[in-house]
Structure formats: structure tokens, C-alpha cells
């Protein structure tokens, strides 16, 4: 199990940051992703695998409004 923005998400082996964004339908472009506190470079979302039990934060920057 993962924690994504402090809510649980089922873990699957080989899951990447991109998979998490898809599962949560996080389509906003202005985001920053942290895995266990470490900022993940945007260019590695497709390849960066996330370990089981990870604490993932997907921070959506405010815009609009």
C-alpha cells in the first residue's frame, strides 16, 4: 500500500510515478511529485518506480482563481 497525499493507494509491482498520476487522474500540468520527501524530476515520471509503502506527495500548484 502507498500513501498518496495522505490517502491510501493500492501498490502494484513496478508502479511508476506516471502510473500513480494516471490512477489518481492527476492531469494538472503544474505539479511537483515527492517520493519519501525527495523531489522527483519531471523528466523521470515515466521511469521512476515507487517502492511499496512509499509516502508520495503530488503537490498541485495553485493557478487560475
Partner 1 sequence: MSVAYDYKVRTEYKGDVPRLRAAHTVVAEFPFQASLPIRGYTRRTLFIDLDTMSVREKPVTEEMIDIFTGGRGFGMYYLWHAITPETKWNDPANEIIISPGPIAGNPQYAGSGKSLVVTISPMTGIPIDCNVGGYFGPLLKFCGFDALEIRGKAKADTVIFIDGPSGLIRLEEAPEETPDSHVAAEVFTHMYAADAKDLQNVSVVSAGKAAETAYMGCLNFSWYDPKRGAVRLKQAGRGGTGTVFRDKRLKALVVRGPKMGPNLNNAADLPSVIRVGRIINQEIHDHDDEQCRMRRQGTAHLVEIMDAYDLLPVHNFQYGKHLDTHRIDSQVWDKRFTQAVPDRCWYGCGMACSKGADGHIVRTGPYKGHIVTVDGPEYENVGGLASNCGLFDPDWLLEVNFYCDTYGIDTISYGTTCAFIMECWEKGILNAERTGGIDLSWGNGESEVELLHQMWRGEGFGVHVGKGVRYLQDLFIENGWGDPQFIRDIGMQIKGLEISQYMSKESLAQQGGYALANKGPQHDEAWLIFMDMVNNQIPTFEDKAEALHYFPLFRTWFGLQGLCKLPWNDIEPPDNHEKYPGPEAAKVPAHVDNYLALYTGITGRPLDRASLLEQSERVYNFQRVFNLRMGQGVRAFDMPPYRAMGPVTKAEYESRAERYDAQLKDIVGIDPAGKSTEEKMALHRQWRTDRYNRLVDAVYKRRGWTPNGVPTLETLKKLRIDFPEVVEVVKAHQE
User: Footprint of partner 1 on this chain (CB under 8 A)?
Assistant: 5-7, 25-30, 32, 34, 37, 39, 57-65
Residue from 48, 42, 15 nearest 30 by CA: 42
Q: Which is nearer to partner 1, 12 or 39 (CB)?
A: 39
Q: How far is the CB of 6 from partner 1 (least distance, A)?
A: 5
The CB-of-8 to partner 1 minimum distance in angstroms stands at: 10
In whole angstroms, what separates CA 46 from the centre of its chain?
Answer: 11
Nearer to partner 1, 32 or 44 (CB): 32
Amino acid at each position: 500500500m502507498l500513501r498518496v497525499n495522505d490517502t491510501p493507494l493500492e501498490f502494484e509491482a513496478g508502479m511508476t510515478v506516471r502510473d500513480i498520476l494516471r490512477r489518481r487522474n492527476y492531469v494538472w500540468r503544474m505539479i511537483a511529485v515527492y517520493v519519501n520527501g525527495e523531489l522527483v524530476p519531471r523528466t523521470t515520471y515515466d521511469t521512476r518506480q515507487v517502492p511499496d509503502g512509499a509516502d508520495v506527495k503530488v503537490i498541485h500548484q495553485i493557478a487560475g482563481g
